[in-house]
């Protein structure tokens, strides 16, 4: 059974906006490209037509994927988040032993993950190691670069 896909309300809104853009802007653009390419004649040797059809397939795939995600996602509402332990939707302040520094991450679903912005997936090595732990807990994360140790300093929404 696949792992549930989690979204924050912000992540759901971003996906809905992207879906709207793909349906109302990108889809009509590619339909127009296909129409123009058809005017060039023989479709069997028409690279513009082939490229436009390929682009259409990509866009339709993205639309289907986003619709499926939105249909099956669990939206985590701030009011239902328990800050006594790390979960999707919480912001976690950690002490990184190796670098002797504090770091902060927001735990989000995989579709929202953006490590550069401090948004880490609940399915990532760090995110999955943190899930379910409390303030004061020392968490050991096995990463591709070796073992990393974090102490959980705070959990907020």
Half-sphere exposure of 4 toward its Cβ, with a 13 Å CA cutoff? 8
Architecture of the domain made up of 78-156: Roll (3.10)
Structure tokens at 117: 């912005």
Strands 119-121 and 6-7, how do they pair? unpaired
Tokens (6 digits) for 128: 């999955």
Summarised one tens digit per residue, pLDDT across range 59-99 is 999 999 999 999 999 999 888 898 999 999 999 999 999 89
Residue ranges per structural domain of the chain: 6-75, 78-156
Common-topology check for domains 6-75 and 78-156: no
Please, what CATH class does the domain formed by 6-75 belong to? mainly alpha
Task: Flag whether the pTM goes above 0.85.
Answer: no
pLDDT for the residue numbered 1: 46
- In order along its 157 residues, the chain shows pLDDT tens digits of 455 689 989 899 999 999 999 999 999 999 999 988 888 777 677 788 889 999 999 999 999 999 999 999 999 988 889 899 999 999 999 999 989 999 999 999 988 999 999 999 999 999 999 999 999 999 999 888 889 999 999 999 9
pLDDT of residue 12: 93
* Cα 123 to Cα 4, 14, 56, 79, 83, distances in angstroms: 10, 20, 31, 22, 19
Q: What is the pLDDT of residue 2?
A: 55
């Amino acid at each position: 059974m696949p792992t549930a896909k989690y979204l924050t309300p912000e992540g759901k809104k971003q996906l809905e906006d992207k879906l709207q853009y793909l349906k109302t802007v990108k889809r009509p653009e590619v339909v127009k490209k296909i129409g123009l390419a058809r005017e060039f004649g023989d479709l069997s040797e028409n690279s513009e037509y082939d490229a436009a059809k390929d682009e259409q397939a990509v866009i339709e795939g993205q639309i289907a994927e986003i619709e499926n995600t939105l249909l099956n996602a669990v939206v985590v509402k701030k009011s239902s988040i328990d800050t006594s332990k790390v979960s999707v939707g919480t912001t976690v302040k950690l002490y990184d032993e190796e670098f002797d520094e504090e770091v902060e991450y927001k735990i989000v679903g995989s579709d929202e993950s953006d490590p550069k912005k401090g948004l880490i997936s609940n399915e990532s090595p760090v995110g999955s190691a943190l899930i379910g732990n409390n303030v004061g807990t020392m968490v050991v994360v096995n990463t591709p670069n070796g073992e990393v140790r974090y102490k959980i300093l705070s959990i907020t929404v």
